[in-house]
Structure 1
């Protein structure tokens, strides 16, 4: 368990941490779009898919973060590549431009909707302008990106592809002071099932749900939660974040990225409309 905030920094990515899956579709001619590709889970997923030989269109508003993602993939001698696409996912035209640019890189078969944010406040006090932004980023944008990507997958010779959505344990249950995040993650469950329902079996939809992960978002969330509840950051880590889990350690971005690699692979062809719940026992055990 971490004892100080310095230990909460995400570990550096290495090839030893990343799942590598032989798959006929994992080639540089195949494109995977990854949102939030400039940091955290999105960065790790972009690198992991590039390690597996794919061309990754990594999308983020953070230009420096995207450059870092490219550098990490290059430093690990990825068989594929990361192509940075700077864009505001809350802007419809930017999302459309992203898909157009990605289509120029090869055949789009995969998309990972990972970009997200958190805001800690009670439902009664939640600022609606923040809710609107979170909605546009975390639910409307995945809906639009899926809408735009599906025709590309359907236009392939066999219609094989998948759209993975980054959900959460908060897509399964609710806790206090995260009403927008909880609402939107539950919404992603519906989107995932809608994709599966319309995908004819070969175009799949799935989601990934995890507990707390060592990302920059999580570090900021610790600070916000401590302020909201009037407790120390260490108490947030030990009592709030890890208190309910049976596995007493936080996941790493690489571990989450590996779930997207598996979910996109042919080994997961029966994962359709379902959720990869990797939560250390958060939602299935209690005291």
Structure 2
């Protein structure tokens, strides 16, 4: 039997990048996966992968910054299955600017997406997990939730806050069969990171490859971008019954970035 057979999982930001990789990984382990994303077109493209492999899934186009819609979405899932076993708060985006130039609206919007929205969803899901005496919540944070990086005022703030939220929720649920952890990847080869590299290149007036060689690789002892599958492998472990003793942790996967 597969590790997650019969379990119900929710993944936000699931239409591409790490979120899509995680969704595929959980479904391949037997879970029924709900892919949540506001990009309906990308969700439709992602659905083809699951359909071809006869994996169990549903796609839900949704803006997770809308608390009312989040509540309704969770209620519908519970009406069908009576449970939610795994929650992956993954949705995010990046914007690079100095603090003095950072648009306030962008700062507030990014915090709502990457910190407030996970709170919305956890607020709804934790009581369901409590009633079933089992749950796995994984918040996709970042090494930028542990250390600073110039130009990432909103991203750093949101990810630092998400790790704090993770620890609080872990303490509140520790005796109830629920684990709450944060995954802190370094630079992963995704569209989000490639876009970030392009922003950094424009900001410094250099080529993207030069950003890798002069800005990113000197920070990463392995001198490479991580692959999505490396993150997925660890998420599958933390999401499984095998990881029952791991909670309240900010697990770092960064090629050695934070060891220096």
Q: Please give the alpha-carbon distance, in whole angstroms, between the structure 2 residues aligned to 1:167 and 1:248.
A: 21
Q: Give the aligned partner of residue 108 of structure 2.
A: 132
Shift of 1:77: 4.6
1:155 is paired with a residue of what secondary structure?
helix
Query: Quick one: distance in 2 between partners of 1:258 and 1:85?
Result: 24
Residue 20 of structure 2 contacts residue 46 of structure 2 at CA under 8 Å; is this kept in 1?
yes
Q: Distance in 2 between matches of 1:200 and 1:223?
A: 41
Residue 27, structure 1, aligned to residue 41, structure 2: no
Cα offset for 1:101? 2.6
Deviation at 1:272, TM superposition (A): 0.4
User: 1:118 offset after TM fit, Å?
Assistant: 0.3
Q: Provide the residue aligned with 1:263 in structure 2.
A: 238
Q: Can you list the C-alpha shifts for 1:118-171, whole angstroms capped at 9, x where unaligned?
A: 000011111110011101100000011001000110111xx1111100011101
Q: Secondary structure at the match of 1:223?
A: helix
User: Which residues in structure 2 correspond to 1:183-202 (within 5 Å)?
Assistant: 183-201=157-175, 202=177
**Alignment TM-score, normalising by the size of structure 1:** 0.86
Q: TM-score scaled by structure 2?
A: 0.95
Alignment partners' CA distance in 2, 1:254 and 1:96:
31
TM superposition shift of 1:227: 0.9
Residues 255 and 104 of structure 1, relative CA distance in 2, 3 Å threshold = farther
Matches within 5 A, 1:100-179: 100-106=75-81, 107-156=83-132, 159-179=133-153
Q: Give, in angstroms, the shift of residue 74 of structure 1.
A: 3.0
Work out the CA distance in 1 between the residues paired with 2:154 and 2:222: 27
How many aligned residue pairs are there?
258
* Cα distance in 2 between the residues matched to 1:37 and 1:127: 27
Unpaired segments of 5 or more residues in structure 1?
1-20
Separation in 2, partners of 1:103, 1:261 = 22
2:43 to 25, 48, 66: 66
SS at match of 2:203: helix
Give the aligned partner of residue 230 of structure 1: 205
C-alpha displacement of 1:22: 4.3
User: In 1, Cα distance between the equivalents of 2:230 and 2:46?
Assistant: 17
For 2:59 and 2:69, how far apart are their aligned partners in 1?
14
C-alpha separation in 2, matches of 1:76 and 1:254:
18
SS in 2 for 1:251: coil
